[in-house]
Amino acid sequence: MIEIRNLHAGIEGTPILKGINLTINTGEVHAIMGPNGSGKSTLSKVIAGHPQYEVTEGEIIYDVNFKKVNIIDLAAEERAREGIFLAFQYPVEIPGVNTAVFLRAAFNEICKHQGADEMDPIDFDEYIRSKMKILEMDEKYISRAVNVDFSGGEKKRNEIMQMAVLNPRFAVLDETDSGLDIDSMRIVADGVNKLRNKNNAMLVITHYQRLLNYIVPDFVHILQDGKIVRTAGKELALAVEEKGYDWLKEGK
Amino acid sequence: MLTMEQNISPFIDTVQKYSAELNKNNSPDWFKKVRENGLSRFTTLGIPTPKHEDWKYTNLAVLSNTPFKPAARVALSFQDQIQRICAKDEITIVFVNGILNEQLSSLDNLPKGLVLLPLNKAITEHETQIKELLSKYKPTEDTPFVAFNHALAEHGIYIQITDKTVIEKLIHIVHVTQSTEASLTTASNFIILGKSSEATVLETHVCFDQSVYLSTPLTDIVLAENAVLHYCKAQSESLKSFHVGNTRVWQERDSHFDGFALMNGGEITRNDLDIISNGEGTSSTLNGFYGTNGKQHVDNHSSMDHRLPNCTSNQLYKGILNGESHSVFNGKIFVRKIAQKTNSYQLNKNLILGVNCRVDTKPQLEIFADDVKCTHGATIGQLNEDEIFYLQTRCISKKDAVKLLAHGFVEDILNKIQNPAIIKKLTILLEPTFAALE
């Protein structure tokens, strides 16, 4: 699905990612853990194509129409239309923009891109309501401005609801569990699990092992100082939760 | 040595000439006096220059060199455009070049408790009410263009709502200008709400071609005890026009003024909104939006005068600037010594999309009471890169993201208007602003 090769990237001349290698196959869920400042969020933004980050070396190879394509030069919206999704750590509030209108615009961009007919507002309304049910979201949010006056938990649910609407092939979840109480986290994790299937793949970035009891990953990677220093199964998450990250430092 | 004649600018000369002509007609003497007083004050004050603190950022020097004449009666070529912003279920009052056009207006079958008269009739039939209203303002406090309006007062509408009457229909005053030479219009409107009455008034100023004119409307509003007025002034005029307008609001106790100003700009637009809260328990909403493009200049001045305790005022003005335009916001809030427990909030937000725009924003708070809550703020900025990126990750192109965010910026403030019919009309008037985003 996606293969990151020797990826180096930074912002305003400061290198943050220093040679990431990561391959994620269709149907897999990978988790990335790591201390603050290790480059987790940068990696998510670079995959999604944030224009402020500069890729200095390496490639991101992604399957587009059964061909392997380096997407480094594609704009964020072009990557999104090819099925790459980023659930934000801090979802952005958009005052004055109605959630349903916004998501229909997004959804219809994908339709256009795939040469399909656009969905009309009435059909879309039904479609979005079915997705909100998965996340146990109150339907009143449909007509509210995107993320405005949403609580932290509601914003995170809204991210996964958007993922459900856009149905991406590859989703990056950036600390979707941070700041959530256990009930909200379960709802979000259940939502993610319902979206998981053999045709898509996910990269789950988190600080806390707890999430991985609910979204069980096939692989866990530890990111430190811009590099993946260890890869193993889900038990690795338990080990770092217990022992911290120091024992994984390079050279140890 | 210069003689007196040479000192007087051609502009003042014009005003003197036309004011004198108006006073030759058969207006009542007291009203002739209003014109004379207005004229003498305007002659003394003249066109304000940027040396005057209230006119620091708006230079009207161009007016003195433009040979204005009173606007003439014309057959309007843009009836379809007028139809677009009017509706059957409203009370429409259309002024073409400042002159009431009864054909385009719907003045029949008025609801009970609503008096609606052209100014020339009102000054004889409602002399007491108009005199009383005018007496509330000390002449020295008048801005030059209130004096100017008085000097040339001839046309306008008088609206009076009887005590305890609720007018459900929207009252829509349309001022449309269409002129082949530089012309002057001065609408003088009066809106008087009786005790516990309620009404919604929309005052639109439109032009559908490139007419050159100076419009100096003055709307005087009085809210008696416990009255509620939803008032919107909306303007979308010729890019060669000058609009220097005033709205003065007088609030008695427990009244609620719910105001909105849409200034979509001519060449130079200056809009003053002055509210005097002269009773306890009043609330006032002063919201507004301005959209500018090219070399347009829009200046919104507001003044909220809290004279008595336990009153609230809320103000939010937002603007989008494109091209090389310039906007000015000046928000005065006075809290008099006895006006304890005043709650006053002011915010001005500017979104700059053009490369060479300028914003001057100035809160001006003068608080003499010690137990009040007053907050104010101003922001000037471009669209946030993270917001654009968020939309891009949702498949929306950067260009569309900018459009969507700018639309949202406008919708956010439009949604504060309670009357959906007004929102619909404003959306039509905002078309130039939205077109500038394309």
* pLDDT of B1 strictly over 50: no
Q: Is B181 on the interface with A (CB under 8 A)?
A: no
Q: Is the residue at B438 inside a domain?
A: no
Q: Is B390 on the interface with A (CB under 8 A)?
A: yes
Optimal mutation site among A46, A81, A92, A147, interface B, most CBs of chain B within 10 A: A92
Give me the interface pTM, i.e. the ipTM. 0.95
Residue with the two structure tokens 């905002």:
B430
Q: Which of residues 17-46 of A touch B (CB under 8 A)?
A: 45
Q: What are phi and psi of B27, to 5 degrees?
A: -65, 155
Residue B384 pLDDT: 87
CB B371 within 8 A of CB B380: no
- Closest-CA residue of B relative to A109 is B395
What is the pLDDT confidence band of residue B8, given thresholds at 50, 70 and 90?
A: low
Strand partners, B302: B273, B331
What is the pLDDT confidence band of residue B6, given thresholds at 50, 70 and 90?
A: very low
Q: Is the residue at B220 inside a domain?
A: yes
pTM for the whole structure: 0.88
The mean of the pLDDT values for chain B is 93
Q: CA distances (Å), B64 to each of B8, B9, B54, B225, in order?
A: 10, 7, 19, 43
Q: In this structure, is the dihedral angle defined by the CA atoms of residues B4, B6, B7 and B13, taken in order, positive or negative?
A: positive
What is the pLDDT confidence band of residue B139, given thresholds at 50, 70 and 90?
A: confident
B239: its two tokens: 């890019």
Q: Is the residue at B423 inside a domain?
A: no
**What is the tens place of the pLDDT at every residue in A127-183?**
999 999 988 888 888 889 999 999 888 999 999 999 999 999 999 999 999 888 899
Q: CA distances (Å), B76 to each of A46, B73, B94, B187, B403, in order?
A: 59, 9, 11, 18, 34
User: For the residues B235-257, what does the mean pLDDT come to?
Assistant: 96
Most confident range, picked from B23-32, B50-59, B137-146, B212-221: B212-221
Of A77, A81, A96, the CB nearest to B408: A96
B350: its two tokens: 């500017």
Residues of B in contact with A166 (CB under 8 A): 394-395
Q: In this structure, is the dihedral angle defined by the CA atoms of residues A113, A115, A120 and A122, taken in order, positive or negative?
A: negative
Residue A6 neighbours by CB under 8 Å, 6+ apart: A19, A20, A21, A57, A58, A59
Q: Is the residue at B367 inside a domain?
A: yes
> Could you please report the per-residue DSSP string of B408-428?
HHHHHHHTT-S-HHHHHHHHH
**Distance (Å, whole) CA B238 – CA B265:** 8
* pLDDT of B190 strictly over 60: yes
**Distance (Å, whole) CA A88 – CA A44:** 9
Check CB contact under 8 Å for A94 and B390. yes
- Closest-CA residue of A relative to B411 is A96
Residues of B in contact with A91 (CB under 8 A): 390
Q: For chain B, how many structural domains are there in total? A: 1
Q: For chain A, how many structural domains are there in total? A: 1
User: For the residues A93-99, what does the mean pLDDT come to?
Assistant: 91
Residues of B in contact with A80 (CB under 8 A): 392-395
pLDDT-above-70 percentage for chain A: 99
**Distance (Å, whole) CA B157 – CA A94:** 41
User: For the residues B304-310, what does the mean pLDDT come to?
Assistant: 97
The mean of the pLDDT values for chain A is 92
User: For the residues B129-147, what does the mean pLDDT come to?
Assistant: 89
Q: Is the residue at B27 inside a domain?
A: yes
Q: Is the residue at B247 inside a domain?
A: yes
Ramachandran bin of A19, using left for φ above 0, alpha for ψ from -120 to 50, beta for the remaining angles: left
CB B37 within 8 A of CB B146: no
Q: Is the residue at B71 inside a domain?
A: yes
* pLDDT of A250 strictly over 70: no
Of B385, B392, B411, the CB nearest to A75: B392
Element (H, E) at B154: none
Of B387, B392, B409, the CB nearest to A80: B392
Q: In this structure, is the dihedral angle defined by the CA atoms of residues B28, B33, B36 and B42, taken in order, positive or negative?
A: negative
Q: Is the residue at B116 inside a domain?
A: yes
Residue with the two structure tokens 């609009």:
B243
Q: In 3-state terms, what secondary structure has residue B434?
A: helix
* pLDDT of B7 strictly over 80: no
Residue with the two structure tokens 């480094």:
A72
**What is the tens place of the pLDDT at every residue in B343-360?**
999 999 999 999 899 999
* pLDDT of A47 strictly over 90: yes
Tell me the residue range of the domain where B337 lies.
Answer: 4-383
Residues of B in contact with A102 (CB under 8 A): 391, 394, 404
Tell me the residue range of the domain where A239 lies.
Answer: 2-248
Residue B256 pLDDT: 98
Q: In this structure, is the dihedral angle defined by the CA atoms of residues B215, B216, B220 and B221, taken in order, positive or negative?
A: positive
What is the pLDDT confidence band of residue B5, given thresholds at 50, 70 and 90?
A: very low
Residues of B in contact with A85 (CB under 8 A): 393
> How many Å lie between the alpha carbon of A17 and the closest alpha carbon of chain B?
20
Optimal mutation site among B393, B402, B411, B437, interface A, most CBs of chain A within 10 A: B393
Of A91, A94, A110, the CB nearest to B395: A110
Optimal mutation site among B351, B395, B412, interface A, most CBs of chain A within 10 A: B395
Q: Is A52 on the interface with B (CB under 8 A)?
A: yes
User: For the residues A207-224, what does the mean pLDDT come to?
Assistant: 93
What is the pLDDT confidence band of residue A73, given thresholds at 50, 70 and 90?
A: very high
Return the CATH number at A218.
3.40.50.300
